[in-house]
Amino acid sequence: MIKNKKILSLVLCASILFSNNLSLANAELNNLIEKKKQSEQNAENTKKEVNDLGVKIDEVDAQIKALDYQISKSQGELNELSSQIKRLEEDIVKNENKLADSKEKLRTTQENLSYRLNEQYKKGESKFIEVIIGSTSISEMLTKLDYVERVANRDKEQIEFTNKLISFINDTEKQLQEEKQEYQIKLQAEENKKRELEIANKNKSDFMATLEQDRVLAEKKYDDFVNETKNIDGEIVALQKRLEEERKREEARRKAEAEARRKAEEERKRALEAKKKEESKKSSGKSSNSGYDDSSYSYSGSGGYSWPVSGYTSISSGYGYRVHPIFNTVKFHSGIDIPAPTGTKIRASQEGMVIYSGWQGGYGNCVMISHSNNIVTVYAHNSSNHVSTGQYVDRGQTIASIGNTGNSTGPHLHFEVRKNGNTVNPLSYL
């Protein structure tokens, strides 16, 4: 009897030491949970910034397209103005040459005509008298008069040509003046288009620079988040190893306690027999507070882990890449989804220690259990959790209830299996 008491005392001491160690582990785990929550918050913030950036990128893309259209249109108009200006310059040069030639012809013609008219004025009607007197016959006289008339007609044609030339020069000068005015207008329009084009190109460059700056900032924040997540994952793996050791010690403690109880029960039975069965035999063993209250619970499969939702075996979304039901994009699905009515019992797939029980971002209400061989099972989107961090649970024990919390489109259990911190296909373990 004394020996059994010693055994029980040793077991009690071991239990106290285990509780102290567990308290330390839980303190570290709580710190780690806080870090992970902060990381989740950073992820949410980064996600919002990325979404906002996506909207901003769409807006900037639309503005850039509008600027590109404006630049293309302005460039086309500028090219057309340049062509018009070139044609005007050619016409101006051509008309200036024509004007110069016409003025030279006018000067020569006016000098010749002035000379001839002056001579005609000096001679007056004597020319006709000389023609009549100097003729030896009527035929000669008529011939000479005809010549005089032709000379007069040529002078008349010369005058008419001169007048036409003057009229042409006036028209050409007017056209030249109009062309030069139009030329100045086109030059001003060209200058305006160049400024408009410069402004549009500068706006586009500013938009592109802003877009690049935002992209670099978002990438940096995302990289920081990824690095932070990796560090936390490393801490989780290290903590899992420690908790695995604690779990093994707890198993040894439970076995020692069970053995001590068995021996104490045998001693009690011998004492009762020595008293010649004065009291009836009765069980004094304590039942473990497992919460396993459904004798009909069963599971199928050869992986060694039990199915976590009794009576509901369908899978609405498997492990691997899929189109996300909320974001409508191809995302990696890290577990399997088992649909069931809200409130349905969720059971531990294997015995182990609860390393997390609480809210976990997109997972909603979540329970994580550490098992042997560095394996962790995850139970997410729960309506409520029935276990707490640091609690040791048995296989098949009720740990939570089916719900729709976190990023979820309907009541179901999101079930994960993680090996050394990395997700694996749960069906390989069930």
Q: Are residues 225 and 345 in the same domain?
A: no
Domain boundary among 210, 244, 278: 278
In a domain, residue 192? The reply is yes
Of the two residues 136 and 363, the one the predictor is more confident about is: 363
**Which residues constitute the domain of residue 373?**
294-430
Q: What is the mean pLDDT of residues 270-287?
A: 52
* 8 A C-beta contact, residue 155 and residue 74: no
Q: Are residues 187 and 252 in the same domain?
A: yes
pLDDT (0 to 100) of residue 53: 63
| Residues facing 369 on adjacent strands | 354, 377
Q: Confidence band (pLDDT; 50, 70, 90) for 276?
A: low
Percent of all residues in the chain with a pLDDT value above 70, rounded to a whole number: 60
pTM of the predicted structure, to 2 decimals: 0.39
In a domain, residue 306? The reply is yes
Q: Are residues 111 and 233 in the same domain?
A: yes
Q: Confidence band (pLDDT; 50, 70, 90) for 296?
A: very low
**Residue from 340, 366, 338 nearest 354 by CA:** 366
In this model, does residue 89 exceed pLDDT 70?
Answer: yes
* 8 A C-beta contact, residue 353 and residue 246: yes
Q: What is the CATH number of the domain that holds 355?
A: 2.70.70.10
Q: Are residues 84 and 208 in the same domain?
A: yes
Counting the structural domains of the chain, the total is 2
In a domain, residue 288? The reply is no
Q: Are residues 139 and 188 in the same domain?
A: yes
Q: Which tens digits make up the pLDDT trace of 174-232?
A: 887 888 888 889 888 888 878 887 887 777 677 667 766 776 776 676 677 566 656 66
In a domain, residue 224? The reply is yes
Domain boundary among 246, 278, 310: 278
**In terms of C-beta density within 10 A (0-12 exposed, 13-18 middle, 19 or more buried), how is residue 338 classed?**
buried
In this model, does residue 390 exceed pLDDT 80?
Answer: yes
Q: Are residues 274 and 299 in the same domain?
A: no
Least confidently predicted of 144-153, 236-245, 321-330, 353-362: 144-153
CA distance 82 to 197: 14
Domain boundary among 223, 251, 278: 278
In a domain, residue 77? The reply is yes
Q: Are residues 155 and 250 in the same domain?
A: yes
Evaluate the CA torsion angle 389, 430, 410, 295 in order and state its sign: negative
In a domain, residue 289? The reply is no
In a domain, residue 287? The reply is no
Q: Are residues 414 and 321 in the same domain?
A: yes
The structure tokens 């102290």 sit at 20
In a domain, residue 60? The reply is yes
Q: Are residues 360 and 222 in the same domain?
A: no
Q: Are residues 348 and 269 in the same domain?
A: no
CA distance 422 to 319: 13
Q: Are residues 112 and 228 in the same domain?
A: yes
The bridge status of strand 336-339 relative to strand 384-385 is unpaired
Q: Are residues 272 and 384 in the same domain?
A: no
